[in-house]
Structure 1
């Protein structure tokens, strides 16, 4: 059996590895020229942590994880700390089953893990686009010069993100399915800023501000990461001709001196996208199926996008892996959706509830968040807050990263 996976992100790579271990031949098509270097720090816990443990990936993930003692909020005018969250207490609420990972590091671990499959069973093709005009037997087009060789795939997995081309080919324009939550998020990493790295090495610091929030933290090898969240989406008057660095400098300029220094070094093409969820009535058609954010985007407000991508990919491979004909594959895809959709819907509901906590729209709600975080140092309140975070959004999801 042969599968074509469109997208070499977390859902795509995890699906490819698990299917190859089940005896499939898999080709992964990725339009980017190589693994992505952008992305922000993520809390990795819950169902994805459990799946990674079953997949034997935890030792490698622990090697690339970061140790974060606390998330600090600061007053943008004075730089004074206003509140903090003890990260160790959050980890304790999860029984220690928590990792802080940069998205590019997680992707590289999954890419390296393809070597666990039989030799030549997985092939990753970078710089290859998906062309829906070249339809294969599975109902998906496979462009970039590989269409002829892959057109007979027994399964096509659309793991090409929230703006999925596979989904568009199957079900129509994304405006029907992508539900913006009124926010945007940007992230990038800079090098060669030793003064900033010295100030923020081992720290995760966020501005305690209304309608926009900037985060800064030091990484390995002297790098410094920026995370920027602000109100706005594709439908509220953003200038489509304004490039991302210009927009970020306009929105965040003057917010806090360390952020101004980061904005001076903003690369030409940082990650900058709408914060949204994906809701659609069906995830597959024939033997073509959507995976990851293409069908189950929970948004960074839910704090478990990477976790859900890997757990969903494991379930997909577990159910489809034993199939040996198209009818069995299609039936298995229906079972994946029946089992996984309620889980996705629960996480999406948690993400919607977190919107005003994540980025307070006014000073009253900012103060409410600040008081809640300060009260979390009290034993009883602490337990309630940490259980709430563990059961819904991640710590840095609540904090703005």
Structure 2
């Protein structure tokens, strides 16, 4: 039952889902708008139950080999002097660059791919889903899963306009490749003015570095796929900031053809499924980069969705309900991002001073240790799904 499954999106959630569906005997096809795997992105954390998922996939040793090897965050003044440092290393987690994780997932996922294409329309009935593509011929599938990010095309087609589901968190952010000489090796260096952050992420295991920009703002009207417009927005917002190394980082970032810009937002939905269509990853529950839980939720969510479909013998009505019930408590917890944005971007000079004081007193490190112990206490082993007989 329901063997032919189309997955929209070849990133962490989509590839993980395809891997497990294929292992359970389904016939997944992955459609991806980009012409190939997207190699960019920032560092992501594989932690808690996501560690177990990657171990069962056989890629955990490689994840550890490719670890970003970043020690922590440091905050600097206009002269580049470190005013505070926070050690962010977690012995129970591994940080890896998003592109490296996607490449590993692709290596162990042998399914059909449609690169350079996307879904134009979909129509479902009692027998399946008819999918019209931008380029490929129209095809029929038993189920369609949207793993296509916060601005999900599948969600728009099956559930409604994006504005119904995105909770904007008053900030915009951008990142791009940058000159590594501008930052300290193995550290994320951040400089703040009230309401803004400029930073550089320098992995110990990669030749390049990532420049970061973030700023507080009312909602902006822009095309989320227009990179030229994205660069204009960041260029205008930081054009007059000559503090620290902002100008050098901006020049370097704007030269990157894979420059990435988006709103800091969360996706909130009462249900992740509609008939034969369901969602996974950021398309369903984006917790925002401020949560630090995007990869974790993508890996665990995809594993649970594939497992519930296998356990239900492909019965999507049973599987989608069980998937929602099993995963929603974790999603609700991870969407509680607390003061993370205020830590990275204090509103005022006074707030920045207080943040730096807390960091120097190691209070943030202590709070992080408490949070990690709390996570460990709440962890349960993931189910070892077996396909229904």
TM-score bucket (shorter structure): 0.7 to 0.9
Q: 1:311 aligns with which of 291, 300, 308?
A: 300
1:260 and 2:247 correspond:
yes
The residue that corresponds to 1:79 in the other structure is 80
Q: How far apart, in 1, do the equivalents of 2:33 and 2:270 lie? A: 27
**1:355-378 deviation per Cα after TM superposition (whole angstroms, max 9, x unaligned):** 32232112222222212111117x
Q: CA RMSD in A?
A: 2.5
Q: 2:16 aligns with which of 10, 14, 17?
A: 14
**1:127-183 deviation per Cα after TM superposition (whole angstroms, max 9, x unaligned):** 01111256575446341344534x1x2221111111111111111101010111011
1:348 and 2:335 correspond:
yes
SS of 1:42's partner is strand
* Unmatched runs of 5 consecutive residues or more in structure 2: 376-389
Check the 8 A contact 2:39/2:102 in 1, yes or no.
no
1:61 and 2:46 correspond:
no
Assess, with a 3 A threshold, how the Cα gap between structure 1 residues 144 and 324 changes in structure 2: closer, same or farther: farther
**1:216-251 deviation per Cα after TM superposition (whole angstroms, max 9, x unaligned):** 133556322112111135x25679997222322222
The residue that corresponds to 2:216 in the other structure is 231
Higher share in strand: 2
The residue that corresponds to 2:316 in the other structure is 329
Q: How far apart, in 2, do the equivalents of 1:258 and 1:154 lie? A: 53
Higher mean C-alpha displacement, 139-148 vs 17-26: 139-148
SS of 1:141's partner is strand
TM alignment of 1:2-401, pairs within 5 A: 2-75=4-77, 77-87=78-88, 90-91=89-90, 96-115=91-110, 122-133=111-122, 137-139=127-129, 141-149=131-139, 151=140, 153-190=141-178, 193=179, 196-197=180-181, 200-219=184-203, 220=205, 222-232=207-217, 235-236=219-220, 243-253=229-239, 254-265=241-252, 266=254, 267-268=256-257, 270-325=259-314, 328-349=315-336, 351-376=337-362, 382-388=365-371
Assess, with a 3 A threshold, how the Cα gap between structure 1 residues 140 and 372 changes in structure 2: closer, same or farther: farther
SS of 1:226's partner is strand
Check the 8 A contact 2:165/2:267 in 1, yes or no.
yes
Moved runs in structure 1, 4+ residues, more than 6 A?
237-242
Check the 8 A contact 2:68/2:206 in 1, yes or no.
no
SS of 1:243's partner is helix
Query: TM-score, normalization: structure 1?
Result: 0.84
Q: How far apart, in 2, do the equivalents of 1:25 and 1:308 lie? A: 23
Query: How far apart are 1:299 and its partner, in Å?
Result: 0.7
Query: How far apart are 1:21 and its partner, in Å?
Result: 0.5
Check the 8 A contact 1:12/1:159 in 2, yes or no.
yes
SS of 2:21's partner is helix
SS of 2:199's partner is strand
Check the 8 A contact 1:302/1:347 in 2, yes or no.
yes
* Unmatched runs of 5 consecutive residues or more in structure 1: 116-121, 393-401
Q: How far apart, in 1, do the equivalents of 2:136 and 2:96 lie? A: 33
Query: How far apart are 1:40 and its partner, in Å?
Result: 1.4
SS of 1:114's partner is coil
Check the 8 A contact 1:36/1:104 in 2, yes or no.
yes
SS of 1:281's partner is coil
Assess, with a 3 A threshold, how the Cα gap between structure 1 residues 214 and 198 changes in structure 2: closer, same or farther: closer
Higher share in helix: 1
Number of residue pairs aligned between Structure 1 and Structure 2: 366
Q: How far apart, in 2, do the equivalents of 1:211 and 1:230 lie? A: 6
